Chain A
């Protein structure tokens, strides 16, 4: 796989800008369009750029864990977000819990955020797993 010089040099930019944007989208999804799924897609796009520019081994080094492990971590986080429901044993699984953190402004933090981060990780893991398999073909 031969990437052009321009692509190889701009690879870090193409990795970290989408990554930062994906985190912004993830947090924005709280009340506005965005969220874990869209954020995960954008983040995965950054990693796929990196795989095209520097080869998928380099992209895997950036990710540190294999894509399947990202999926596992995300699933675990999403599943665990529902467990907080049982602070009240009568409540159904996935019942939301809220914590209004008071740091200058009031930050409403809920289990939905935890769930969304889980979705983010699963999407990144799935998309990279699929596209790296395709990149590795040749």
Chain B
């Protein structure tokens, strides 16, 4: 049963993608199957999480080839949490995508691509093999390109080409690093790499491979200075697509950085810790300043993705249990909040007629509930207590102070203030100021479309409030996740089995 659970988060979206492609000419059937698969994925990931929490790390050998020869799937606390969040986002966006514009999207092939994207994401979170991670990155890249250009407008193609070009460069660096590592160690299994990496003679070459991986994952995660593809492309995508991208794609990069740098290159922390720290600070500052300069809701939100990535890297920069727990908590909180903000932006567009702040206005008077639904994720993003973002920032900043990284803690605090500034900017312009003349005509939409739009927003608001008001289990889980991430020997033993006793060197 454990083996089935382990593979289920990959198999469910795979099957969904295959069946919806098979039903290419029947969009309605595709939509139903897509929704059922999303529910199933969430259920399977929740069962997997329960299994990991009660029974510890799950390891599976694909095709029964023992690691390090075959590909291993490894799901520990962090992976399980990321999988559950993926399932939650998949369900929220699958429902949201049934709102306005659903028919055009489904006819263009939204469902197969969407589930292929989910498969790429769950595969990246489950794999315990570096080359397999590369393969999942490619699956994600291809599916996301298809989703990005779904409407086939000139603007989307322009954004899509930039997106693919910059990401291809990133994955090429990944491939070079994989080649280097294989040449140095003769293995690509993460546990086996972690076992042999400290004893590699040529530590310089190993550090070079690590730097290449940092560049490649950093480009995926949109950290400074490799973030340009994100604001160039995200605002062109249709809203459900932008929401799932904002929620998951950059976080896969963050996950890969956390995984590889806590496991394989942990012994090199003295070198990479400060580098990641500087990158984290620069990312926070540049992202938030970019957001402050823009007046289109989608662009503001896109830049905030970048800014928040900085917080998630603090754990890798400091490598203390508390800092890594902070990163884990922050990733979980952020995915929910960020996706929700994009969903709300789509709803604002629907009732206000525009994404441009100048042409929005008066939404608080006409749609007070939408205002509340915006305030929950927006204030949480800025870190106002008692919402989820407050706890995430609290743990991150406190870990910075404890590790005596005062500059890092100060930057994190200041960026929080600036985040509040841009959220207030959206609030003032879109909700508070008088409606512009002539008053925008809200697009007509049916009752079912309204439900499809607002149900996921309410669900995610509920998750944000739950994390905020009932933080204890989430904090405890994050600390458990951090401990299991720092327990490298535990990971190695779980994947490779108990270390073999060393006999005397064989004499030829």
Which chain A residues have a beta carbon within 8 Å of chain B's beta carbons? 65-66, 68-69, 71-76, 79, 82, 85-86, 89-96
Do the beta carbons of B61 and A92 come within 8 Å of each other? yes
Query: B43-63 vs A: 1/0 string, CB under 8 Å?
Result: 000000000000000001111
> Taking chain A's interface residues, is the majority helix, strand, or loop, or is none over half, making it mixed?
helix
* CA of A25 to CA of B11, assembled, Å: 28
- Is B7's CB within 8 Å of the partner chain A? yes
Which A residues are CB-close (under 8 A) to B61? 92
Q: Does the CB pair B18–A72 fall under 8 Å?
A: yes
Question: B277 near A: Cβ within 8 Å?
Answer: no
If the complex has contacts A68-B112, A72-B112, are A92 and B60 also in contact, measured as CB distance less than 8 A?
Answer: yes
A92 touches B21 (CB 8 A): no
From A74, A76, A85, give the contact of B15 (CB < 8 A): A76
Q: Is the beta-carbon distance between B11 and A66 smaller than 8 angstroms?
A: no
How far is A95 from B24 in the complex, measured between Cα atoms in Å? 31
Residues 111-126 of B, flagged 1 when their CB comes within 8 A of A and 0 if not, give 0100000000000000
Q: Tell me which residues from 1 to 36 in chain B have a Cβ below 8 Å from any Cβ of chain A.
A: 1, 3-4, 6-7, 11, 14-15, 17-25
Is B446 positioned at the interface, with any CB of A under 8 Å from its CB? no
Point out the residues of chain A lying under 8 angstroms from B22, CB to CB: 65, 69, 72-73, 76
Q: Which B residues are in CB contact (< 8 Å) with A94?
A: 62-63
Interface residues on B, range: 20 to 34
Chain A residues in 8 Å Cβ range of B23: 69, 72
Residue B362 lies at the interface, judged by CB distance under 8 Å to chain A: no
B109 at the interface (CB under 8 A from A): yes
* Closest chain B residue to A79, Cβ basis: B14
Residues of B contacting A91 with CB < 8 Å?
Answer: 3, 64
Residue of B nearest to A111 (CB): B63
Task: For the complex, give the distance between the alpha carbons of A65 and B24 in Å.
Answer: 9
Given A72-B112, A79-B11, A93:B24 Cβ within 8 A? no
Report yes or no: B21 in contact with A69, Cβ–Cβ below 8 A: yes
The reply to whether A75 and B14 contact each other, CB–CB distance below 8 Å, is yes
The 6 closest A-B pairs by CB, nearest first: A72-B21, A72-B22, A75-B18, A76-B18, A93-B7, A92-B61
* Most chain A CB inside 10 Å of its own CB: which residue of B7, B17, B25: B7
Residues of the A chain whose Cβ atoms lie less than 8 Å from the Cβ of B60: 92-93
A94 to B22, CA, bound (A): 22
Q: What chain B residues lie within 8 Å of A96 (beta carbons)? A: 63
- For B14, the chain A residues whose CB sits under 8 A away are 75, 79
Q: Which of B4, B17, B20, B63 has the most CB of A within 10 A?
A: B63
Nearest chain A CB to B129 CB, angstrom units: 13
Tell me, rounded to whole Å, the shortest Cβ–Cβ distance linking B296 to chain A. 32
Q: Evaluate contact between B63 and A89: CB separation under 8 angstroms.
A: no
Q: List 5 A-B contacts (CB under 8 A).
A: A76-B18, A85-B64, A91-B3, A93-B3, A93-B6
